Amino acid sequence: MGCPCAVNLYAEHESQARRGFDLAELETRRLDQKYSHYREDSYLARIQRQAQCSGGVNVDRETAALLDYAETQFGISDGMFDITTRRLSALWDRIKSIPDQREVSKALNKTGWEKVRWNGLNLATVPGMEFDLGGIVKEYAADRVAALLIKAGFESGYVDLGGDMHFLGPHPNGNPWRAGIRNPVNRTEPMAIVGLYSGGLASSGDYERYSEIDGTRYSHIINPRTGWPVNFGDAGMSSVSVSAPSCLVAGSVTTLSMLLPKSKSVPFLEQSGLNWFAV
Amino acid sequence: MARLSGAVRSLLASSLGLPGMQDLLSAEMPDDTFEYRYTRYDEAPLPSDKLAFGDPRRYEIGSHQFRIVRNLNETYSLELNYLHEAMSGSSPWYVVPGESGPLQVMSGATIRERRNQVDLSIARAEDEYTHRAKIGYSSENDYRARYGSYSGERESKDGLRTTSWGISYSNDEISPTDALIFGRVVHAQRESLSGSLALTRILNRNAVLQSGVTLSHHSGFLSDPYKQVWINQAVVNDSRPDKRLMFAWTTRFRQYLERSRAALVLDYRFFRDDWSITAHTLELAWRQPLGGHWEVTPSVRYYSQESPEFYAPFFFVHPADGHWSSDYRLSTFGALSFRLNAEFRQEYWSISIGSEYYKSDESLAMTGTPENTPGLVEFWRLTAGLRVKF
């Protein structure tokens, strides 16, 4: 997953806990291999290539469900949350200088879910389009691993995939888990401690992944309309954490609120009905 | 948690196709539900020292209730309720003066009746609003009711306050059995209209307070066609005013106790109508989870009412306004009931059993001047139910 992963479980025997960890590791690896955009041999890379051919590609059920979810995300965000921005994010990833606007325009032509033909089974894209499921798969993996652990009989514990978390259930004595929210300024001290019983928790911040050029931070979150990293300056959020029934939904809501200026993201978070924390 | 926005609910719904997500979110998304409940209601026979004549065996009722809730999509849900009830026994008829106080005359023949009731409602829940419309029909051999209602609910953005409101209407037709033999009304109608408003407030993370009022108006034939009144040696039909305006104020309080993981429930209801009946109900319950799957709820309820002016066990003089009734349910009395419910819950199903003992007596009245009322009832109620979520 390209991030520190942790699983914390209460079990009656060590062997039982070990079985839980094995289960978590296997499933995380499976999803990582399947949807990694760093691997040429991943399932995602394969369908990405085939989707550009005429007739597109039929995808498996799990991928179909992820694409359905991505389509919903695209719809409710008025096109701001788009999984087809891989070309753009690659352009802005770990840069030393600002990319040429012609390069940005070229990548923009290969971007946009509206250019995708998706019918629930068959996927067809424009040539050169690449998917970035980074904003979905890690969150889904946290939920998926939690679901498998619950099915295996674990009631108390949590899954943490680089800050994308799913809490199976409270401590056996009924107390909630205490999760620290990272401080964007002072990264060693948590900014707040929240108590969580069950469900997902996701955080997003401009401190997480960014490039700095001439003193300006360029976030890893790209606006698919302009092709430029989201930068509202002081008018934007620097960190958002959301708890939701699933980590996947929590992640979507955090990313979406990072894509909006504060004037819009605060009402959006307030209306969501979820618990959130933002600076 | 506050009500989720449409956007969040769309995300939740569209994630359900992912493997494992359905199980993970089952507690968050509404379930389709099937419920069955059997209730057995048994009134104690009238003691022989209170009986003038007639059959002392009182009502026994067995009822089967079915409920199905089906979520059509994230916004709309349908609910169907069906009830079948079979009752038998005899009922208090009228009261006569005896040497050491009033004596109850019971109906001679055993009454056997069946009642069927069905209602269907549709609910729409979107953003902070929920709206529900219901129509229903109830039928027994001497009674038919058609009713409908609308209710709504609005939750505040922060989820701390809920406002609920509702109106309902019922049109009932009465055609008593053996009307000609006993000189009962042959055919009559009554109409009811009621409206309610309630506010719920989450006081802190462990306490909830709700307060609400209900106003209802009934008109038409409001007497009981099977009850009679002894007026100076003559026995005449029960005769009540043909209009009734009722007001109720209900306050409910819930306190969750973290240490024992139990909930304390305290309800109070004040009732007053223009027949000058005043009543108070106080209920105290303790919901205690035991182990991982059981929840046990003992509760006690106290009720006290003051009778209207046209009530008396019997009359020596004809009341001038033409209204009289000896129905024990209109007398000044108090009642205590003790209940114990237990529920065993699993992820997709639960079973519950419960029992209740109820005793009403004139000496339990809190206010008013109670008179000797031989018809006051004592009963046991047993329930068993099953609920399945799918």
* ipTM for the predicted complex: 0.88
Q: What token pair was written down for A32? A: 């990582």
> Is the pLDDT assigned to residue B244 strictly greater than 50?
yes
Reported as type and span, the H/E element at residue A163 is none
To test the contact with chain A by mutation, choose from B1, B4, B8 the residue with the greatest count of A C-beta atoms within 10 A, namely B8
Looking at chain B, the domain(s) classified CATH 2.40.160 span 46-57+69-378
Q: CA separation (Å) from A163 to A146, A160, B327? A: 14, 6, 69
Q: Could you tell me which of A133, A114, A110 has the C-alpha nearest to residue A227?
A: A110
DSSP code of residue B310: T
Distance CA B142, CA B115 (A): 10
Give the model's confidence band at B351: pLDDT under 50 very low, under 70 low, under 90 confident, else very high: very high
CA count, 13 A, side-chain hemisphere, B189:
4
Distance CA A108, CA A123 (A): 20
C-beta atoms of B15 and A150 within 8 A:
no
Q: What token pair was written down for B3? A: 């009500």
Q: What is the pLDDT of residue B3?
A: 64
Q: Could you tell me which of A228, A6, A28 has the C-alpha nearest to residue A145?
A: A28
Backbone phi and psi for residue A52, each to the nearest 5 degrees, phi listed first: -85, -15
* Cβ-Cβ contacts under 8 Å, B17 against chain A: 61, 64-65, 68-69
C-beta atoms of B11 and A249 within 8 A:
yes
* Cβ-Cβ contacts under 8 Å, A69 against chain B: 11, 14-15, 17-18
- In tens, the pLDDT along B199-242 reads 999 888 778 999 999 999 999 999 999 999 999 999 999 999 99
Give the model's confidence band at B271: pLDDT under 50 very low, under 70 low, under 90 confident, else very high: very high
Q: What is the pLDDT of residue B1?
A: 45
DSSP code of residue A235: G
- In tens digits, chain A (279 residues) has pLDDT values of 667 888 989 988 888 899 999 999 999 999 999 998 778 888 999 999 999 988 889 999 899 999 999 999 999 888 888 999 888 888 887 777 788 889 889 889 999 999 999 988 899 999 989 998 888 999 999 999 999 999 888 989 999 998 899 999 888 887 889 888 777 666 677 777 888 888 999 988 766 666 777 777 777 778 888 888 887 766 778 888 999 999 999 999 998 888 888 888 899 998 888 989 887
C-beta atoms of A62 and B4 within 8 A:
no
Q: What is the pLDDT of residue A98?
A: 82
Distance CA A43, CA A59 (A): 10
- In tens, the pLDDT along A166-196 reads 999 888 887 889 888 777 666 677 777 888 8
C-beta atoms of A144 and B28 within 8 A:
no
Q: What is the pLDDT of residue B120?
A: 98
End-to-end CA distance of chain B: 23
- In tens, the pLDDT along B354-388 reads 999 999 999 999 998 888 999 999 999 999 999 99
Q: What is the pLDDT of residue A185?
A: 66
With H, G, I as helix, E, B as strand and everything else as coil, classify residue B28: coil
- Is the Cβ of A76 closer than 8 Å to some Cβ of chain B? yes
- In tens, the pLDDT along B9-58 reads 888 888 888 887 877 776 555 678 999 999 999 999 999 999 999 899 99
Q: What dihedral do alpha carbons A25, A31, A33, A38 form, nearest 10°?
A: -120
C-beta atoms of A252 and B159 within 8 A:
no
C-beta atoms of A62 and B12 within 8 A:
no
* Cβ-Cβ contacts under 8 Å, B10 against chain A: 72, 75-76
Distance CA B163, CA B198 (A): 6
* Cβ-Cβ contacts under 8 Å, A68 against chain B: 14, 17
Domains of chain A: 5-278 (3.10.520.10)
> Is the pLDDT assigned to residue B315 strictly greater than 60?
yes
Q: Could you tell me which of A161, A165, A189 has the C-alpha nearest to residue A177?
A: A165
Percent of chain B predicted with pLDDT > 90: 72
* Cβ-Cβ contacts under 8 Å, B130 against chain A: none
Q: What is the pLDDT of residue B130?
A: 92
- Minimal Cβ distance to A68: which of B2, B17, B19: B17
Q: Using CB atoms and an 8 Å cut-off, which of residues 250-279 of chain A contact chain B?
A: 252-253, 268, 270-275
Q: CA separation (Å) from B268 to A41, A264, B209? A: 68, 44, 12
* Cβ-Cβ contacts under 8 Å, A245 against chain B: 12, 24-25, 27-28
- Is the Cβ of A120 closer than 8 Å to some Cβ of chain B? no
State the smallest CA–CA distance between residue A246 and chain B in angstroms.
Answer: 7
Sheet holding B101-106, edge to edge: B51-53, B101-106, B92-98
Residues A57, A47: contact at Cβ < 8 Å?
A: yes
- Is the Cβ of A65 closer than 8 Å to some Cβ of chain B? yes
* Cβ-Cβ contacts under 8 Å, B28 against chain A: 199, 245
C-beta atoms of B20 and A244 within 8 A:
no
Q: What is the pLDDT of residue B346?
A: 80
> Is the pLDDT assigned to residue B119 strictly greater than 70?
yes
User: How many other C-beta atoms can be found within 10 angstroms of the C-beta atom of residue B180?
Assistant: 8
* Cβ-Cβ contacts under 8 Å, A64 against chain B: 17
Report, as an integer, the average pLDDT of B144-148: 97
Domain B46-57+69-378 carries which CATH code? Answer: 2.40.160
Residues A272, B7: contact at Cβ < 8 Å?
A: yes
